[in-house]
Every structure is written in C-alpha cells, then in structure tokens.
C-alpha cells in the first residue's frame, strides 16, 4: 500500500514545516547538494520510516548515490520543485516563508558571528543559505553592502607564481583575470552553458578538477551530467589555453609546498603529484592572509560584517580602493574589490 501522510495531523505539519525550512534555506534550485545522514535525521526524521521516506523521495532527487568513505563526501541531491510544491499544497503551506533559528538571528543583530575554522577558511551556517534567501535576509538586518574580491583565486595564484618566476607568462589566464566578464560570456555562448558554470569550471580547474564525463566529478555534476557540454569544453581553444596556463602555474607554485614521495611497485620512489586538496589548501592560505587584513580594517571602522570566503556583507560603506592599498602593503598582493548595495529603492 502506498503511504500518504495525514497532513491534518499537527505532528506531520510540524515535520513538513521543518523540512521545508531546511530545503528552502540550504538547497539551491537546479544545483546538486551534499546532504549528510545526520542532516536527514535532524530535519526529515528517520528516513527509513514512512513519513521521512515520503518527504525525502518527494522533495529531493538523488543525483549521486555514491558515498566516499575515505573523504567523507556525502551523497548528492537536487531539489524536486514539483514535489516541493506538491507537499506545500497538501500541507496548506503555499505561503511558507523560511526562517533562521534564534541563535543565528542573534548573531545578525550583534554582528558577533561565530565561525568554525577548517583548512584556513572560516565557516558560519549563514554562508550556506541559498543566495536567493540570504541576500534579502542580510539586507533586512542592515547588511546591505556586499563586497567581493574580483577573480580572487586566479588573481592571487598568478601573482604568487610571478613572484617566484618573474619571467613566467600566462596569456590565457591573465586575459581571464583582466577580462573575466567578456571571457565568461564568450565561453558561455560557445560552450552553451551559463556564465556561472563557466566561473565554476575555471575555478575547479585551478583546484585540480578535470573536465570529463566521470560521473562523480564535480565539473560533470555542475553541468548536470551533460555529455555534450563536456565535449564542447574539451574542444574549446580558450579552455585548453587556460588549462595549459594552469598546468604551468602549478609547476611553479609547487616549489612553495613540501615534497611528498610515493613508492612505485618497482620499489623506486618519485615525487607525488599535487592533488586537489593540496591546491585548494594552498589557495586558502593566501585567501586567509588577504582576509585577515580586510577583517582588521572593518573592525577598526566598527563595521559589522559576515565574511563569505572571498567577500563579505556588511552594514557600512568602506572605501574599496583604500582596502586594496592596505592589502597590497600588508601582503604584496594586488586585488580588485567590487561592491553592490542591496535594498535600494
């Protein structure tokens, strides 16, 4: 017998509300998301039981059923919009508006955000709220000013490589940094993908990702498992030129990293290749150096801010050119900061 919840039961109403709040806050439409087992138990309840199973399979589609025990990488899901709306209708929650918990709301009020540090990055749950919800949420609490370091990863990695080897040349990657909007538009048109996907692909390549049809690859999943899009990227001259520059880039940057060696079956040893974790970790160290300078300046001006990796939302205006100068003096890196204001009439 097919299970159908009794949506008039207050307990089922409460569970539906909890599930809707979670997926509306943290699952971005048309994007895959990792969801750990403990998150399912926290929000959906026991997904082996009828209600939890019904809500999980109605509201979410499984895009990758693979759990990587070695890395802790969770199974991946995508929001089923039709299923979500179906549950809202049956539960009488068509006008549902998600809310954050009291603790996070208090952090927004005080500006004393609690971060957990992992791999030289600062994490706060508000960062993970979908942009669609997060931007108006922050603006309504006074955090109307959003700043972003333009093309942060390729910018600082290029500069560090050129500090090590002043004669190094990266024409395609430098062109991307200087003209990122134009390049993204060109690649989006020629490869028939979105500009957001172009940005994701290039940043993923910088961290060691490969453009392939490997079902668990993050680029393939970002492209919604579109084999044709992968082929177009693989045969695109601009992408191949950027790929070559990235290869040269890391051959220089690896001088900053400690050597690791592996033993071959023959008994000989050789230097291990850099992996994605090495590359992303290297960038995050530089990102952290730049971030600390900006944090100090914001606190000096008594501006409340939420740090979001290579950008931030805050409740006051600060001169981006002055910040750029301070970062250059303190770290040696030349960055460009863009900003926009939300909530303007």
Averages of pLDDT over each 10 residues, the chain, 345 residues = 88 96 91 87 94 95 73 78 95 94 95 89 92 92 96 96 96 96 97 96 95 91 93 97 97 90 76 88 94 96 94 96 97 96 69
* Per-residue exposure over 153-190, b if at least 16 CB sit within 10 Å of its own CB, e if not: bbbbbbbbbbeeeeeeebebbebbbeebeebbeebbeb
CA distance 252 to 162: 9
The residues spanned by each domain of the chain are 10-90, 154-274
Which pLDDT score is estimated for 29? 85
CA distance 116 to 124: 7
Which pLDDT score is estimated for 281? 92
Which pLDDT score is estimated for 1? 46
| Block residue for tokens 């060691």 | 208
CA distance 154 to 249: 10
Which pLDDT score is estimated for 71? 53
In CATH, what is the architecture of 10-90? Orthogonal Bundle (1.10)
Which pLDDT score is estimated for 258? 82
Which pLDDT score is estimated for 345? 46
**Model pTM score:** 0.87
Which pLDDT score is estimated for 194? 95
What secondary structure does DSSP assign to 34-86, as a single string? E--HHHHHHHT--TTSHHHHHHHHHHEEEEE---BTTTTBPPEEEE-HHHHHH
């Amino acid at each position: 017998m097919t299970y159908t919840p009794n949506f008039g039961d207050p307990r089922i109403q409460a569970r539906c509300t909890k599930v809707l709040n979670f997926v509306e806050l943290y699952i971005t439409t048309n994007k895959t998301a990792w969801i750990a087992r403990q998150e399912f138990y926290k929000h959906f309840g026991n997904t082996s039981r009828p209600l939890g199973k019904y809500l999980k399979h109605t509201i979410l589609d499984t895009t990758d059923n693979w759990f990587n025990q070695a890395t802790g990488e969770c199974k991946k899901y995508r929001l089923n919009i039709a299923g979500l709306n179906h549950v809202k209708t049956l539960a009488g929650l068509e006008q549902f508006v998600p809310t954050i918990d009291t603790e996070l709301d208090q952090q927004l009020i005080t500006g004393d955000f609690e971060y957990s540090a992992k791999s030289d990055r600062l994490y706060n749950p508000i960062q993970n709220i979908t942009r669609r919800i997060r931007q108006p949420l922050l603006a309504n609490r006074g955090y109307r000013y959003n700043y972003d370091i333009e093309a942060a990863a390729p910018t600082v990695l290029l500069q560090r490589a050129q500090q090590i080897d002043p004669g190094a040349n990266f024409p395609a990657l430098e062109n991307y940094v200087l003209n990122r909007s134009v390049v993204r538009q060109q690649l989006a048109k020629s490869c028939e993908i979105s500009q957001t996907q172009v940005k994701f692909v290039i940043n993923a390549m910088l961290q060691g990702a490969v453009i392939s049809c490997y079902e668990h690859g993050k680029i393939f999943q970002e492209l919604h498992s579109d084999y044709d899009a992968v082929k177009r990227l693989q045969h695109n001259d601009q992408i191949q030129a950027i790929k070559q520059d990235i290869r040269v880039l890391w051959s220089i940057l690896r001088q900053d990293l400690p050597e690791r060696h592996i033993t071959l079956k023959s008994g000989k040893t050789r230097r291990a290749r850099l992996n994605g974790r090495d590359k992303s970790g290297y960038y995050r160290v530089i990102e952290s150096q730049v971030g600390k300078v900006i944090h100090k300046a914001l606190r000096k001006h008594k501006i409340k801010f939420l740090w979001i990796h290579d950008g931030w939302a805050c409740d006051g205006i600060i001169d981006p050119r002055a910040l750029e100068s301070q970062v250059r003096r303190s770290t040696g890196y030349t960055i460009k900061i863009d900003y926009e204001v939300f909530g303007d009439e």
